[in-house]
Structure 1
Amino acid sequence: MSDSGGPDVTQELRLPWDDDPDDLYEHAPCGYLTTLPDGTIVKVNQTFLVWTGYTRAELVGHRRFRDLLGSGGQIYHETHYAPLLRMQDEVHEMAFEVVCADNTTLPTLVNSVLSRGPAKEPRAIRTTVFNATERRSYENELLHARRRAEESERRVQVLQEIVADLAAAPTEAEVAEAVVRAPEPAFGAASSSIYLVDVERDLIVAVSSTDPTTGNWDDMPRSSPRAVARVADRGDLHVVGSVAEAREHFPDLVDNMRKSGRNTVVLLPLTTGGSDERVGTETLGVLAFSFTGERKLGDNELRVVRLLGQQAGQALDRARLYDDARRREERTTFLGETTRTLDELHRLLPRARRLVDRVVPEIADWALLQLSIGGGIHEESGGPAPDLGLLEPAEQRAIRASVPVFPAAGDPLGCVVLPLTARGRVLGTLSMRMAPDRRGAAAERAFLIDLADRAGMALENARLYEQERETARTLQRSLLAADLPSGDSRFAVETHYQAAGQDLEVGGDWFDAFMINKDRLAIAVGDVVGRGIDAATTMGQLRSAIRALAGDGVGPARLLEALDRFVDRVETARMATVAYAEVDLVTGELVYACAGHLPPLFQAPVGIPEFLLQARSAPLGSRAGDLRRTEQRQPLPAGSRLLLYTDGLIERRTRPIDKGFEVLAREFARRRDAPLPGLTAALADLLVGRDHADDVCLLCLSLGSEERIERSLGADRMQIAQLRSELRGWLVAHGIEADCRDAVLLACSEAVANAIEHGYRDDPFGMIDVVGTVTADAVEVRVTDRGTWRGAVTDVARGRGLQLIRESMDQVLFDRTDGTTVIMRRSRGDL
């Protein structure tokens, strides 16, 4: 009992520190080591021995603490642990891997204290060793969890980037390219490939791959037993984890997995809905990616994989809608622009050429247009041609059935043949080789049928236009082709008619010249309002009316008044313009009048040209203004020239009409001494060119004969008759006797015929120049060609032509300096 009467606690309780100190040391919850300054173990407790499996005899006095560490721990002991201990006399929580007696390792945390003597010299090192096995396991778990979180975050980040790429990809091809690149950064895949479903062609189409050399990289039917087709059909994610699994479920993958070392293959369907929502989903494609070696995909990774399939499927669906809309817009624009550009050309063959130029290369890499024209076939083609022999059966089918022929699967030619029809008639065919389109075949066929319909109608309209145009031109030529007076030495008439650009209809411009009596010449130029057959017909009626109304004592004024009454009955002739003049060939007096027409241009033998501005009145049938018709007289000295013309010669939208008058007068004056033949054509070429939008008509009257005659004609025997007519009139004008005249005409005709036959036998476009001069005692004619004669010119002597020339002329010479020139002279006296 205690002094206070209570119990004696110190006797009833046994305190821990009253235990045996040796026992506490030996069985402490941690290991104890005592080592000399060099690390030699001099004392160790039982706990450490139990942990490591050593005996006390193996350690004490035989091993150093550093000897119990692995190689890495020994380096760390030397570089960190020992220096710190010497400097600080203690170190705490140093992590070491202790190698146990059975060569296993024990993770530990070490605290050491350096004990020093009175002189501060190191005496011993006392070390406490804690078992860190559970802590290491916990740390490893934390590390693994952190790594998993980082990988998940990285995959999410990669997926976000992929989704952003998919959102920015407007077309199906760009979406496919973004999808095929996703598995490598997202999951560490070695290679990936993407296949898309083509419902219309019933195919699985290989689109893109990061390594197309691996696997079966080609298209396949949707019913194929291959893994990709089966996954596309079922719409389920499949992970093939080994070759054995592939052999059991997807045998077509086995060979590739063995060769490439890819032991894990993921087959991911690209769907428009969630993988768990079977209703309303559609598989648009399959993404196949593989890993080197075997790869186990966790649940989180599989969720990300499925999410990728859904995002990619939605992006593909959106891109297809975009592609379809863009294609429809492009096709609509193409059809509209094609129709517009074809309408710009009025002729059939230029339209055909432009159609082919539009098709190639915009929608096809090769096209052949075949048109039935005049019993023959006209062809226009573009691009490198395939084997056309394979195309003939398809063309025949298209023509017989009047329906397009599209290429079948496996067709070696791969061409579509479109019949071009209009108004129930097949005009020809348009054959095209187009790049295969994975999708939209139905829409593409509708587009091609629409193109064929538009092209057929455009070509038919051009054909009808040409038919009408040719009819109008034939009518117009027949109306303008009446014989103009010639062979009279007192005057000469030169005319020229130039239609507007080749793609426009004929107009109503016309000219005429005729003899009222043996000494009175009438000339006229007019312009009928409108174009086409109606204008040409009206022009002919008006021209015939002038011939019928002209007569002795009538004169220009009374003739125009009669024409006013005539157009009251011919409505299409109303507002036509006419410049009409009569020339007295005995007195040289001109009487003229203009009904709304441009003024004639008069050039005297000397001086500058002047426009005859008198006797002007309104167009025919005009009911406005002064309806009286007047006429004006003008002397025409010998050697004068008078030019009548239509407004197409001088009127331009880009300049005032006064400028046109100025240019015409200047150019007419420059050609004062030029030969009359070709003068009107030269003026038209200079002032108008070939692409003007209006017709041009000119008539030039020259009084008195030409000093010399110069003519150029083509290598065509039909032109010899016209040459003889002009040459005869020129000879008559110079008073050449009949015998001499006939001899010159015969010799000249034979020389021209020889030049055509021998000089231009292979050149139908050759030209022959004929120049005639008259002197006081002889007539000389030169016939020049630039063709190639066979052998020497004298070889022609064996023919009849040269014999006639020698018999007809007094002198015949040949000059081979520049081509071949035959020089013929005939005396003006009797033979």
Structure 2
Amino acid sequence: MSDSGGPDVTQELRLPWDEDPDDLYEHAPCGYLTTLPDGTIVKVNQTFLTWTGYKRGDLVGHRRFRDLLSSGGQIYYETHYAPLLRMQDEVHELAFDVVCADGRTLPTLVNSLLARGPEQEPRAIRTTLFDATERRGYEKELLFARKRAEDSERRIQVLQQVVADLAAAPTEAEVAEAVVRAPEAAFGAASSSIYLVDVERDTIVAVASTDPTTGNWDDMPRSSPRAVARVADRGDLHVVGSLTEAKQHFPDLAENMRRSGRNTVVLLPLTTGPADEQAGTETLGVLAFSFTGERRLSDAELRVVRLLGQQAGQALDRARLYDAARHREELATFLAETTRALDELHRLLPRSRILVDRVVPEIADWAAVRLSVGPTGVLEEKGGPAPDADLLAHALARVTTTGEAIFPAPDEKLGCAVLPLTARGRVLGTLSLRMAPEHLSVAGEHAFLVELADRSALALENSRLYEQERQIARTLQRSLLAGNMPGGDARFAVETYYQAAGQDLEIGGDWFDAFMINNDRLAVAVGDVVGRGIDAATTMGQLRSAIRALAGDEVGPAKLLEALDRFVDRVETARMATVAYAEIDLPTGDLTYACAGHLPPLLQEPAGSPEYLLQARSAALGSRAGDLRRTQTTRRLPAGSRLLLYTDGLIERRTRPIDKGFELLAREYARRRDAPLQGLTAALADTLVGRDNTDDVCLICLTLGTEERIERTIGADRMQIALLRADLRGWLVSHDVEPETRDAVLLACSEAVANAIEHGYRDDPFGTIDVAATVTADAVEVKVADHGTWRGPTTDVSRGRGLQLIRESMDQVLFDRTDGTTVTMRRAREAE
């Protein structure tokens, strides 16, 4: 009893701290471990042993704490647990999986405390472990619930993104791409496909799929019995939940489901209005998506599916309107660009080529332009194969006569549209186009093609008139140039070339002339009058006539230019004209020249490099600035020298310095030093200018004296044979070779060169052939040498019809195969 008379509580109630401490440690509701600083276990309680199934003797002194952890736990122990414990002396609630004696893992939460000695040296680690199995399960439930929430949120976001993409998609293709991806992201569908209704072709077109290998992935008529066509026709949603159901209602779908392993298929019509309001709605397509396993869609999901079909249908309707507007804009742009491209060229054939090149393959796979006026016939044709010739000829005749276009029906054999090219009230010709049948059947395409033909006709008629006027201008231009060049004199030969500006209808002021002052003195001149047109051409003729009138035995180039200065004082349009004038004393070979503001002549002597004659230069005619004195220079030229006079159109370009033009001319002139004179000036102009020149080009080349020995190098081109033959003929005539001998030498030389081209350079179009000829009092000897490879080491070059002609023409023929093939031919001259 207590002092107050009550019971003595201390005798009946035993407090917890009165229990045995060892028992409390051993059977605590958590595991205890004591380890050395290196992790070796030195003490463990029974609770930990019970949880893990280990025996005390297995752990104490034999195992380290880290050895009891899973592989991931051991890595975490080394990278996080141990460093933190050393730095902080304690760690709290670290999750580790402990591997039990039977191999199972025990989820735990670990708290550890590092005990240190008097010198702060680590002495022991005390660790408490709590069983986290239930907590881990709870966390998994939370994670699963979170995942479901995230999946729901993601589905909502996917649908929101689809709606946003549909709002931003301007074309049918982009709408289809946005819709076809939605079922997989929103509902977990295995695959989906989208089909669109083509009203004009009365078909249902497959446009997009996430798995084209499944299902009947092709176009179909709208009247097809297939599931997609039936849903498009009825406009209602179908969910096929099993293979059995598919066999009952959609046999084609059942076969697809069986082959692809799909168990559920949804067929969603894409409509312009709510699916439950059929009045005023239109089905524009069908979205089909499927699931591998059985998938039962809830009512809420079905509402979302129907909303997707409605949104997609409205987006398709908007995209079709946009596509139609864009197509009209593309056609208008094509017309504008085609008109601009045609206007950039002036010639008839290039314009017709540009027209056909733009049409094929952009709007047609075959096209042809024919004219019935001017240069009649087919101007240009591209693509293929061409339509039936008889049907096309009949259509062309009908369109040319009536002036009305023909647009055949898709089932007609003609298969192409034929449009009249009408300009200024008459049919110039026809434009024929083969296009896809669906385009030929659309009224909007008809209007576009008629507009294209009308614009093209006007452009072609303008180019035809331009060429007509250009030809008139060219004829007038050439009539104002010098007439026949002097010839028939063995002491010299003259070659000229004129090329008018490529895009100019006006007459130019460039000119050349050559004439005999007396029996032994030859004059050559090149000039350029400022400006273009009739005034420039008239002035050009006056200057040319004045030079002929002023030239004389005792005048010379300097005095002639002084006289021209006085002449231009009375002819204002001749002021600032440039002239290069030279006189050649044929018996001596003396060249006397002067340049009034003109480009320097270019001289090529038989030996050495080309040389520009830069002396005797002064200002243009009638110039009132600078030194007005006129000077001249004389130099003696050896036989075989060539003198080239030219106008600035040959070398001047806006895109390069004039020094570069001089360099190119000298190089090309040197490269042709052994080429025949005939065709030399044309070849120079073709190389340096081409055919798109913007300025007139005049050249005159003079070859002086009779060469004792003619040496020429030509390319392996049969076109060169005629030029060589003309050059060789003139040389033989100058040496008074008898006609019969001359003709025989020309025939044999031509055959030898032809054989070298055909056999020696059959695979080398860039080969060269050397021709050398000499004349003595007794005979003519010709050598033709190539460096090519003939048809084999055993080939007898002396066989063949060409060689037979050579042998019949010449008295002696020898062959040398040391380096290529050299044919040496000799013909005795006839006795006088």
Q: Structure 2: how far apart are the matches of 1:478 and 1:717?
A: 31
Question: What residue number does 2:171 align with?
Answer: 171
Instruction: Note if contact 1:769-1:784 (Cα within 8 Å) is conserved in structure 2.
Output: yes
Instruction: Note if contact 2:352-2:369 (Cα within 8 Å) is conserved in structure 1.
Output: no
Question: What residue number does 1:385 align with?
Answer: 385
Q: Structure 1: how far apart are the matches of 2:646 and 2:470?
A: 23
CA 1:452/1:188 → structure 2, altered by over 3 Å: closer, same or farther? same
Question: What residue number does 2:829 align with?
Answer: 826
CA 1:746/1:446 → structure 2, altered by over 3 Å: closer, same or farther? same
CA 1:296/1:533 → structure 2, altered by over 3 Å: closer, same or farther? farther
Any idea what the Cα deviations from partners look like across 1:52-101, whole Å, max 9, x if unmatched? xxxxxxxxxxxxxxxxxxxxxxxxxxxxxxxxxxxxxxxxxxxxxxxxxx
1:312: Cα distance to partner? 0.4
Question: What residue number does 1:748 align with?
Answer: 742
Residue 618 in structure 1 maps to residue 620 in structure 2? yes
1:541: Cα distance to partner? 6.8
Question: What residue number does 1:319 align with?
Answer: 319
RMSD of aligned residue pairs (Cα, Å): 5.8
Question: What residue number does 2:579 align with?
Answer: 578
CA 1:212/1:298 → structure 2, altered by over 3 Å: closer, same or farther? same
Instruction: Note if contact 1:770-1:781 (Cα within 8 Å) is conserved in structure 2.
Output: no
Deviation larger for 637-646 or 172-181: 637-646
CA 1:545/1:312 → structure 2, altered by over 3 Å: closer, same or farther? farther
Question: What residue number does 1:485 align with?
Answer: 486
The SS at the match of 2:745 is helix
| One-letter amino acid matched to 1:195 | Y
Instruction: Note if contact 2:589-2:705 (Cα within 8 Å) is conserved in structure 1.
Output: no
| One-letter amino acid matched to 1:425 | V
The SS at the match of 1:632 is coil
Question: What residue number does 2:510 align with?
Answer: 509
Q: Structure 2: how far apart are the matches of 1:170 and 1:201?
A: 22
CA 1:601/1:756 → structure 2, altered by over 3 Å: closer, same or farther? closer
Any gaps of 5 or more consecutive residues in structure 1?
1-145, 732-740, 807-811
Question: What residue number does 2:220 align with?
Answer: 219
1:525: Cα distance to partner? 0.6
Q: Structure 2: how far apart are the matches of 1:330 and 1:609?
A: 58
| One-letter amino acid matched to 2:219 | D
**Residue 800 of structure 2, aligned match among 775, 791, 795:** 791
1:556: Cα distance to partner? 1.9
Q: What's the TM-score once normalised by structure 2's chain length? A: 0.60
Q: What's the TM-score once normalised by structure 1's chain length? A: 0.60
The SS at the match of 1:495 is strand
After TM superposition, list the pairs within 5 Å mapping 1:163-242 onto structure 2: 163-167=163-167, 169-183=169-183, 186=186, 193-208=193-208, 214=215, 218-221=219-222
Instruction: Note if contact 2:183-2:192 (Cα within 8 Å) is conserved in structure 1.
Output: yes
Question: What residue number does 1:271 align with?
Answer: 271
Instruction: Note if contact 1:557-1:629 (Cα within 8 Å) is conserved in structure 2.
Output: no
The SS at the match of 2:636 is coil
| One-letter amino acid matched to 1:300 | A
1:589: Cα distance to partner? 6.5
1:528: Cα distance to partner? 4.2
| One-letter amino acid matched to 1:522 | A
CA 1:643/1:752 → structure 2, altered by over 3 Å: closer, same or farther? closer
| One-letter amino acid matched to 2:746 | V
Any idea what the Cα deviations from partners look like across 1:270-319, whole Å, max 9, x if unmatched? 23444567787554334456789999866534432331122102322343
Q: Structure 2: how far apart are the matches of 1:789 and 1:535?
A: 60
Question: What residue number does 1:85 align with?
Answer: none
1:513: Cα distance to partner? 0.6
Any idea what the Cα deviations from partners look like across 1:348-401, whole Å, max 9, x if unmatched? 44555554444444445x33434458454355324x637656973795365555
Q: Structure 2: how far apart are the matches of 1:339 and 1:243?
A: 60
CA 1:814/1:515 → structure 2, altered by over 3 Å: closer, same or farther? same
Any idea what the Cα deviations from partners look like across 1:479-524, whole Å, max 9, x if unmatched? 66833223435x4244343637977779553322111332332211
Instruction: Note if contact 2:729-2:746 (Cα within 8 Å) is conserved in structure 1.
Output: no
- The structure with the largest alpha-carbon Rg is 1
CA 1:610/1:716 → structure 2, altered by over 3 Å: closer, same or farther? closer
| One-letter amino acid matched to 1:520 | R
The SS at the match of 1:597 is coil
Any idea what the Cα deviations from partners look like across 1:626-682, whole Å, max 9, x if unmatched? 699865343343527654221234434455546656776798799999987777677
Instruction: Note if contact 1:618-1:625 (Cα within 8 Å) is conserved in structure 2.
Output: no
**Residue 731 of structure 2, aligned match among 708, 727, 731:** 727
Question: What residue number does 1:598 align with?
Answer: 599
Identity of aligned residues (%): 58
Question: What residue number does 2:57 align with?
Answer: none
Q: Structure 2: how far apart are the matches of 1:149 and 1:636?
A: 105
**Residue 560 of structure 2, aligned match among 556, 561, 569:** 556
1:708: Cα distance to partner? 2.5
Deviation larger for 426-435 or 234-243: 234-243
Q: Structure 2: how far apart are the matches of 1:257 and 1:473?
A: 79
Q: Structure 1: how far apart are the matches of 2:755 and 2:503?
A: 34
Residue 284 in structure 1 maps to residue 284 in structure 2? yes
The SS at the match of 1:511 is strand
Q: Structure 1: how far apart are the matches of 2:326 and 2:432?
A: 25
Q: Structure 2: how far apart are the matches of 1:669 and 1:763?
A: 23
1:218: Cα distance to partner? 3.2
Q: Structure 2: how far apart are the matches of 1:231 and 1:496?
A: 82
Question: What residue number does 2:433 align with?
Answer: 431
| One-letter amino acid matched to 1:380 | E
Question: What residue number does 2:813 align with?
Answer: 814
CA 1:563/1:200 → structure 2, altered by over 3 Å: closer, same or farther? farther
The SS at the match of 1:485 is coil
| One-letter amino acid matched to 1:823 | R
Q: Structure 1: how far apart are the matches of 2:240 and 2:725?
A: 96
Question: What residue number does 2:648 align with?
Answer: 647
Aligned residues: 651
After TM superposition, list the pairs within 5 Å mapping 1:537-548 onto structure 2: 543=544, 546-547=547-548
The SS at the match of 1:780 is strand
Instruction: Note if contact 1:648-1:696 (Cα within 8 Å) is conserved in structure 2.
Output: yes
Instruction: Note if contact 2:593-2:634 (Cα within 8 Å) is conserved in structure 1.
Output: no
Q: Structure 2: how far apart are the matches of 1:168 and 1:513?
A: 77
Q: Structure 2: how far apart are the matches of 1:154 and 1:417?
A: 57
Instruction: Note if contact 1:243-1:263 (Cα within 8 Å) is conserved in structure 2.
Output: yes
CA 1:583/1:190 → structure 2, altered by over 3 Å: closer, same or farther? closer
1:782: Cα distance to partner? 2.2
The SS at the match of 2:829 is strand
CA 1:313/1:793 → structure 2, altered by over 3 Å: closer, same or farther? closer
Any gaps of 5 or more consecutive residues in structure 2?
1-145, 759-764, 791-796
Instruction: Note if contact 2:370-2:379 (Cα within 8 Å) is conserved in structure 1.
Output: yes
The SS at the match of 1:173 is helix
Question: What residue number does 1:499 align with?
Answer: 499
Q: Structure 1: how far apart are the matches of 2:299 and 2:382?
A: 61
Q: Structure 2: how far apart are the matches of 1:147 and 1:635?
A: 104
Q: Structure 2: how far apart are the matches of 1:150 and 1:628?
A: 96
